[in-house]
Structure 1
Amino acid sequence: MSKHQRIYAVVRQIPAGYVATYGDVAALAHLPGHARLVGYALHALPEFSDVPWQRVINAQGKLSLGRAFPGGELHQRHLLEAEGIVFGANGKISLKHFRWQPPSHEPAHEDVLKAQ
């Protein structure tokens, strides 16, 4: 399984109404310290992918698409708000309230481990 496939397997497990940081996804895909690789992998997704890319945000609780895709942050924000994610007046998402943590008895990377 490629690194990108491992990343996609983790992102697919993030439920609607929750987010994970690029670093969270990297760690769960057994790629600690490779948060940028998560960004590159999500950027490489085809347009109609089933990977819920919008649920991955930066460690400050902000959206990070603006530089790569003008207007992308607004699209991502609308998708997240439709899932019930609330943005603060500062444009941030409260990681305390919306950060996804996989159940300790069922690691998010289980699919990754099975495929290796």
Structure 2
Amino acid sequence: MEKKNLILLLVCCLFGHVVYASDENSKLIGQKQASSWCIFQLTTPPEKMQAFLDYACGKIDCGPIKPGGVCFFPDVLPAHANYALNAIYHTLGTCDLQLGFVTTLDPSYGDCKYQGS
């Protein structure tokens, strides 16, 4: 009987540990957390992107997406707006889910490096 109780206790402890470790908000010692970026949804209208870009450049350094900046090319609104949305995400700690979404795929390209977490 004592052996059954010991086995049951071990199973319960193991199950509890597995449930805790699988919690997406838990950090295990030595485990590297995935980086994340916030980028615009493909369906976001250009006027909303432009309005956000105007707002963001009053809050963050938009030098990299200005002429001569490392992220200026391609000189298209979605590229510049994505850079700004991600910079705001890392500055404020939230991604506006009405405009964008969080991804673990790095949107950086060439020498243009987006800040990741």
Work out which of the two has the higher radius of gyration on C-alpha atoms and give 1 or 2: 2
TM-score class normalised by the smaller sequence: under 0.3
